[in-house]
Amino acid sequence: MAHDDPTGTPTAHDDPTDALIDGLVRSAFQIMGVLTRIGAEHDLSLTQLRVLGILRDRRPRMSDLAAFLGLDKSTLSGLIDRAERRGLLARGASPEDRRAVVVLITDAGRDLAERMDEEIREALAPATGRLGPEQRRQLAQLLEPVLTPPLPAAPRPTGRR
């Protein structure tokens, strides 16, 4: 059934791409709200929460982490400094290139990340619980090509010359 506005014109939801974009944006806002609340309960910004999640299974160079997050090196350095003071992260030398600095998660950081992961699962359970196991598997499969590779975090260059 077509969704028309009062003038009889088809709405944006009749276009599958528009409906997809709308669904992605709405879900992003809902999930970011949950992540922001849980991060704030642990005195972490959304970016700090992302860093902990990234570092759970990686040891990136500072420059790679900055590029991935779309941050300049000084902003990332300040963020890492604050997390180091809390005992959540540490800097180390790269095993491949002793001149490069890698960022490591500490045991305390890993424990906090695991606790928050459980809190996030609980907070999202009312939404994910609406889907059966097969639907959850299908949605995860459908999202993978949308999310991989990640979209660039840095602003797009303007086309002006």
The answer to whether residues 147 and 65 touch, using CB atoms and an 8 Å cutoff, is no
The pLDDT assigned to 97 comes to 84
Q: Which residues lie across from 102 on neighbouring strands? A: 61, 92
The pLDDT assigned to 111 comes to 97
Closest CA to 108 of 40, 42, 45, 58: 42
The pLDDT assigned to 95 comes to 83
Alpha-carbon span 52 to 105, nearest angstrom: 7
Look up the pTM and report it.
0.79
Residue indicated by tokens 């994910």 = 128
Alpha-carbon span 46 to 43, nearest angstrom: 10
- Ranges of the chain with pLDDT below 50: 1-4, 161
pLDDT digit string, tens, across residues 120-161: 999 999 999 999 999 999 999 999 999 888 877 666 666 554
Alpha-carbon span 92 to 3, nearest angstrom: 57
Q: Which residues lie across from 101 on neighbouring strands? A: 93
The pLDDT assigned to 160 comes to 54
Alpha-carbon span 143 to 11, nearest angstrom: 25
Contacts of residue 44, Cβ cutoff 8 Å, sequence gap at least 6: 52
